[in-house]
Amino acid sequence: MSVFRQHFNKLVIKGIIQTSPFGSFKIIEEEDSERTTLTIEEVRTLANYVPKRGNSQIREAFIFSCFTGLRFSDIKKLHYDEIVNEQLIFRPAKTTKKIVTVPLADEAKTIIAKVVKHPTNKKVFWDLPTSQVVNVYLKFWALEAGLKKNLHFHAARHTFATIGLTFGIDIYTMKELLGHSKIEMTQIYAKIVDEKKRNEMLKFPKL
């Protein structure tokens, strides 16, 4: 199935077809799917490289997610009226109950300020294609920038969590920022951070 999806995505990019037949299927973003994460240095590398393919909003939306933790579905529907007093206040697409509040980091504010506004569409990222097409462009972007990572949009959310925990954000605060219903979901990211710390300690030289 994934081979066929990739084939149709390439046809969309080349302009041979308008839409992929896989676009009608809902791709569920599982929290326990492959957790590709980026370091802050890798995020900088991507932010400083302008990809040769895709529109600017793909790049801006991905970096924005690295600093807010928003899923693609929430980025796609984000409206300017959900930005209040330099923070995001929104109801995630995956739930109809919980309202999530995310204070905007400086990098996220910078992106909001430079995104080209649509004259009538009130969405922030109004020019984003489907998640399937975005993920194809992200893989091209990583390749062009020299990153050996299987980049997909949900990697930005994983990156937000691991970088935040690495730089000292409390795990319970991170739970609220990600909109998790259970702390166990957030603890998975803490385990990833701990594993990275252990791997880094192995680099110490022996006497």
pLDDT reported for residue 15 = 53
What percent of the chain shows pLDDT beyond 70?
A: 83
User: DSSP letter string over 82-104?
Assistant: GEETTEEEE--TT-SS--EEEEP
- For residues 200 and 169, the model is more confident at 169
Is the pLDDT assigned to residue 154 strictly greater than 90? Answer: yes
Eight-state DSSP code of residue 123: B
Q: What is the DSSP string of 170-207?
A: -HHHHHHHHT-SSHHHHHHHHHHHHHHHHHHHTTSPP-
Residue 14 has pLDDT above 90, yes or no: no
Task: Identify the burial level of 203 via C-beta atoms within 10 angstroms of its C-beta, where 0-12 means exposed, 13-18 middle and 19 or more buried.
Answer: exposed
pLDDT band for 32, please (50, 70, 90 cuts). Answer: very low
Topology given in CATH for the domain delimited by 36-196: hpI Integrase; Chain A (1.10.443)
Total residue length of the chain? 207
Q: Report the pLDDT averaged over residues 31-39.
A: 73
pLDDT surpasses 60 at 2: no
Of 49-53, 108-112, 156-160, the least confident: 49-53
What pTM was estimated for this model as a whole?
0.80
* Overall average pLDDT of the 76-83 stretch: 96
pLDDT digits (tens, 9 = 90+) for 83-142: 999 999 999 987 767 899 999 999 999 999 999 899 899 999 999 999 999 999 999 999
The confidence score (pLDDT) of residue 198 equals: 83
pLDDT value at 27 more than 60: no
- Map out the domains of the chain as residue ranges: 36-196
Averaged over 27-50, what is the pLDDT? 78
**Neighbouring C-beta atoms of residue 156, cutoff 10 Å:** 29
Residue 203, pLDDT score: 80
Three-state secondary-structure class, residue 36: coil
Q: Percent of the chain, pLDDT > 90?
A: 67
pLDDT at residue 20, as a whole number? 59
